[in-house]
């Protein structure tokens, strides 16, 4: 009898571990129709950024050409975790990074995560243009970025 109680308690505890409370799902393309991807170059540094005219950039990926490394930056809220989950199609991966306050925007936390240019999520992004972010208790659906993401990631991959 005691064994059944312990087993039942363990099932309740473990059952709760898999649940995640999602406070909001944001489809940036639907909520902000003028949000667009921009691919820019400054010397040997490339930047793929997502924002809208007159507003700050919400997501930015930067790399040095052929470096094989991407710095992924997301503008969040103060107190947000310095970890995010990136998803492209069926491929999902969690990334740990570092967060710091944005000196130009009170209440905004910039979370920076290093990602390899050949990372499976980045490869899928280059193939499909699809990217979603799970960040704290929020889910963010980004507008499709097929052409600029493909060009950006191809240029960022390390030379063979």
Give the tens place of pLDDT for each residue, 81-101: 889 999 999 999 999 999 999
2 exposure class (CB count in 10 Å sphere: 0-12, 13-18, 19+): exposed
For 34-46, write each residue's pLDDT tens digit: 788 999 999 999 9
pLDDT computed for residue 51 by the predictor? 83
pLDDT computed for residue 52 by the predictor? 72
Q: Rounded to two decimals, what is the model's pTM?
A: 0.80
Backbone angles phi and psi of 76, in degrees to 5: -120, -155
| Domain range 21-156, CATH class | mainly beta
pLDDT computed for residue 42 by the predictor? 95
Q: Can you tell me the distance from the alpha carbon of 49 to that of 37, in angstroms, rounded to the nearest whole number?
A: 6
Which residues of the chain are modeled with pLDDT < 50?
1-21
DSSP collapsed to 3 states, the chain: CHHHHHHHHHHHHHHHHCCCCCCEEEEHHHHCCCCEEEEEEECCEEEEEEECCCCCCCEEEEEECCCCEEEEEEEEECCCCCEEEEEECCEEEEEECEEEECCCCCCEEEEEEEEECCCHHHHHHHHHCCCEEEECCEEEECCCCHHHHHHHHHHHCCCC
């Amino acid at each position: 009898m005691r064994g059944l109680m312990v087993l039942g308690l363990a099932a309740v505890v473990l059952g709760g571990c898999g649940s995640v409370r999602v406070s909001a799902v944001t489809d940036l393309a639907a909520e902000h129709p003028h949000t667009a991807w921009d691919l820019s170059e400054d010397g040997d540094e490339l930047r793929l950024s997502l924002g809208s005219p007159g507003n700050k950039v919400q997501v930015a990926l930067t790399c040095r050409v052929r470096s094989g490394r991407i710095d992924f930056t997301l503008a969040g809220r103060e107190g947000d975790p310095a970890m995010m989950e990136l998803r492209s199609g069926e491929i999902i991966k969690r990334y740990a990074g570092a967060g710091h306050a944005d000196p130009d925007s009170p209440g905004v936390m910039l979370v920076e995560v290093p990602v390899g240019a050949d990372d499976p999520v980045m490869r899928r992004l280059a193939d499909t243009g699809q990217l979603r972010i799970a960040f704290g208790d929020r889910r963010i659906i980004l507008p499709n970025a097929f052409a600029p993401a493909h060009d950006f990631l191809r240029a960022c991959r390390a030379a063979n």
